[in-house]
């Protein structure tokens, strides 16, 4: 699960070329490259440093990474054919800053559940547990009959 301030970009380059993102501090969380032929070389660059590329013969590469770039990120494609780039990033250094959209003391979501969801689930588990043991008790010990039905059943039981 990505942080709430994560941004995903999708770009395509036909032939040889590059796409430059504005320079800022970014933490790259996920990258993916898909290319039309295996001889095409596609890569992600942070300034002059290559941090993810597809030199192999595979036409689709997808990896979760955590790479902090303090420079310009560039999508680079060399060779003929089409290259598709997908990148998910946040505009901050994930190692030194907190999520600005999260609460300062405790997060509102815990593993995808809000606190209201967790409380509701706990109450439902309690209710179903009580019902289960009530049915189990009645099945083992039997059900007590009161009133007119008991008088009629005692009359015919003799």
Residue 84 φ/ψ, nearest 5 degrees: -115, 130
For residue 20, what are the contacts with CB-CB under 8 A and spacing of at least 6?
Answer: 72, 73, 74
**According to CATH, what is the number of the domain 7-102?**
2.60.120
Q: What global pTM score does this model have? A: 0.59
Is residue 28 over pLDDT 60?
yes
Q: Return d(Cα 23, Cα 9) in angstroms, integer.
A: 15
pLDDT digits (tens, 9 = 90+) for 113-138: 777 788 899 999 999 999 999 999 88
Domain ranges for the chain, please list them. Answer: 7-102, 114-157
Is the confidence at residue 104, as pLDDT, over 60? no
| pLDDT tens readout for residues 32-51 | 988 888 778 888 999 889 88
Categorise residue 89: left if φ over 0, alpha if ψ from -120 to 50, beta otherwise. beta
H/E segment holding residue 15: none
Question: pLDDT at position 148, please?
Answer: 60
Q: What pLDDT is attached to residue 78?
A: 87
Least confident of 7-11, 54-58, 151-155: 151-155
């Amino acid at each position: 699960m990505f942080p709430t301030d994560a941004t995903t970009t999708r770009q395509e380059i036909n032939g040889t070329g590059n796409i430059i993102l504005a320079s800022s501090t970014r933490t790259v969380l996920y990258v993916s490259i898909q290319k039309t032929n295996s001889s095409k070389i596609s890569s992600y660059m942070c300034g002059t440093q290559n941090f993810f590329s597809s030199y192999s013969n595979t036409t689709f590469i997808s990896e979760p990474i955590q790479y902090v770039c303090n420079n310009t990120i560039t999508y680079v494609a060399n060779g003929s054919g089409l290259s598709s780039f997908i990148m998910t990033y946040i505009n901050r250094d994930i190692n030194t800053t907190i999520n600005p959209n999260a609460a300062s003391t405790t997060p509102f979501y815990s593993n995808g559940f809000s606190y209201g969801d967790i409380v509701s689930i706990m109450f439902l588990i309690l209710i179903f547990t009580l019902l289960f043991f009530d049915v189990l008790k009645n099945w083992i010990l039997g059900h007590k009959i009161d009133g007119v039905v008991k008088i009629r059943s005692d009359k015919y039981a003799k």
